[in-house]
């Protein structure tokens, strides 16, 4: 009643094969074995290493829109929103230059803002690590957030 299962499987397999072929040969493909957000030069740190860096005094930067930072943030984090990068960077540049280490984070799961901000910092001569999977990974590890409202 539902048709021929071999044809059904053939449609799925042929479509998938065409997709892999296109990704490999079209020039429009991308690396499948890692997050699509990661580019050459990006330094990714896991949540355990990020915690260690925080304990050692690294400066954390919140790349989400400023309203999200106002509501909650990794303890001590400063806002450096992707959409307001230039103005905010000018304000906090001296602190960034003095920092012993920098970690940028955002909302995780497809949030590209931390990657974009880290690359912009790199263009300005500042090395910044990106927190892998952002805030969800931080929370999943049972690590604290600062929820004191900020203005």
Partner 1 sequence: MSGLLRSPRVQLVLRLVLGAFFVYASLDKIWSPAAFAKIVYQWQVAGPVPSNLVAVTLPWIELLAGLLLVAGVWKRESALVIALMLAVFIVSAGSVMARGIDVENCGCVSVAKAEARSSWPPAWTKGVGWFLVSRNLVLLGAALVLVLAPPPRPGSPPEAS
4 touches partner 1 (CB under 8 A) = yes
CB 46 within 8 A of CB 129: no
User: Is residue 8 involved in binding partner 1 (CB under 8 A)?
Assistant: yes
Binder among 25, 27, 30, 87 for partner 1 (CB under 8 A): 30
Two tokens, residue 15: 């479509």
Beta bridge partners of 43: 129
Q: How far is the CB of 86 from partner 1 (least distance, A)?
A: 20
Instruction: Name the minimum Å distance from CB 16 to partner 1.
Output: 4
Q: Are residues 69 and 151 in contact, defined by beta-carbon separation less than 8 angstroms?
A: no
What is the distance between the alpha carbons of residues 60 and 136, in angstroms, rounded to a whole number? 16
Report the C-alpha gap between 35 and 124 in whole angstroms: 25
Note whether 1 binds partner 1 by CB under 8 A. yes
CB closer to partner 1, 7 vs 56: 7
Q: Report DSSP letters for 132-144, one per residue.
A: TTHHHHHHHTT--
Residue 35 as a binder of partner 1 (CB under 8 A): the answer is: yes
Contact set with partner 1 (CB under 8 A)? 1-4, 7-8, 11-12, 14-16, 18-20, 22-23, 28-30, 32-37, 109-112
């Amino acid at each position: 009643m539902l048709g021929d299962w071999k044809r059904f499987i053939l449609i799925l397999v042929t479509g998938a094969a065409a997709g892999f072929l296109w990704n490999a040969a079209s020039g429009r493909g991308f690396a499948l074995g890692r997050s699509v957000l990661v580019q050459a030069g990006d330094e990714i740190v896991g949540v355990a290493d990020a915690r260690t860096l925080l304990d050692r005094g690294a400066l954390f930067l919140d790349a989400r829109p400023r309203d999200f930072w106002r509501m909650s943030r990794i303890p001590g984090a400063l806002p450096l929103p992707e959409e307001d990068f230039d103005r905010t960077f000018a304000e906090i540049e001296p602190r960034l230059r003095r920092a012993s280490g920098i970690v940028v984070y955002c909302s995780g799961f497809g949030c590209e803002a931390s990657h974009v901000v880290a690359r912009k910092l790199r263009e300005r001569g500042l090395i910044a690590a990106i927190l892998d999977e952002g805030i969800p990974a931080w929370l999943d590890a049972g690590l604290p957030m600062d929820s004191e409202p900020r203005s």
